[in-house]
Structure formats: structure tokens, C-alpha cells
Amino acid sequence: MRHFDLAPLYRATIGFDQIADLINQVSDRSVSQPSYPPYNIEKTAEDAYRISIAVAGFSTDDLSIEVKENELVIAARKTADEATNSYLHRGIATRAFERRFKLAEHVQVSAADHRDGMLHIDLTREVPEALKPRQIAIASTGLAALDQAAKAVN
């Protein structure tokens, strides 16, 4: 695994330390991140995303979705009913898991759906009106206004 030296980022920027910390966390986590269960992340619209996780063998009651501190936590715990079953072959993994995703600011979970062995979680970015770009009108004053008035007269 590559190691990134983020010292230049810390020296040249102010207030971006969260991004550098996030890069460090992701690079550290990628080494130990489990591959179970498989999942997809897709962009469904300009400000909409969907996470799809294969959860075959889990019921809706076995699954939990929680958002805390800008982190989406998806967990599954199988009920103890299966402990009494005797399998000749067990190819469907129903072991407990916990999958975490860091969420950007203003990204909210809008819906969750469990069907056909897939858990779909829809996310949307909802930027408050106060933070959206707005057009500022420019007033003409001084010499530029006089020039425009003179051109209008001629």
C-alpha cells in the first residue's frame, strides 16, 4: 500500500485538515476493510446517490441503518434461529457485518429499501439556500456611469 505524505497540504492550506485526515483514514482502512458483503455505489442524478448492498439471507429485522457524525453505518446481525439448523453445505454467508461510509456535508439518507436480497440506500445532497451560489448585481457609479450616460445621449 502506498503512503501519502500530506505535509505539503498542511503547510499550504488552512481549514482543509479534515480532508487530509479523511484521506489518511481511507488509506489506512483500505488495508483492513473487509470485502463482505459486496456493494455498489452509483450516482443516480446530479445530487443523488445509491448504495446497493447484497444482503442475501438477511431479513429486514436483521438489518440496521444509522447515521451519526457524518458517517453512515450499515450493520446486520443474524437471529439465533439458524443455530439449530444442520447444514450439509453452507454456501450463503450470513455472518454479521458492519459497513461504514463517510458522508460529505449536506448528504442525507432519503430512503432505504430491502428487496430481492439487496439493500438499497438512497442519498441526496441538499445544500441549504444560504450556501448556494447567487448572482450579485453590479451598480454603475462614478466615471463608468458618466461614460455610459454620454454614450446614451450621443
Higher pLDDT, 132 or 135: 135
Helix (H, G, I), strand (E, B) or coil at 109: strand
Q: Check whether 31 has a pLDDT greater than 60.
A: no
Q: Which three cell numbers stand for residue 22?
A: 479523511
Task: Write out pLDDT tens, residues 84-131.
Answer: 778 888 887 778 899 999 898 889 999 999 999 999 999 999 888 777
Q: Domain spans of the chain?
A: 1-33, 36-127
Closest CA to 53 of 11, 105, 113, 7: 113
CATH node for 36-127: 2.60.40.790
- pTM check: above 0.85: no
CA distance 44 to 30: 25
Task: Write out pLDDT tens, residues 51-94.
Answer: 999 998 889 999 999 999 889 999 999 876 655 778 888 887 77
Between the CA of residue 76 and those of 8, 40, 152, what are the distances in Å? 40, 17, 73
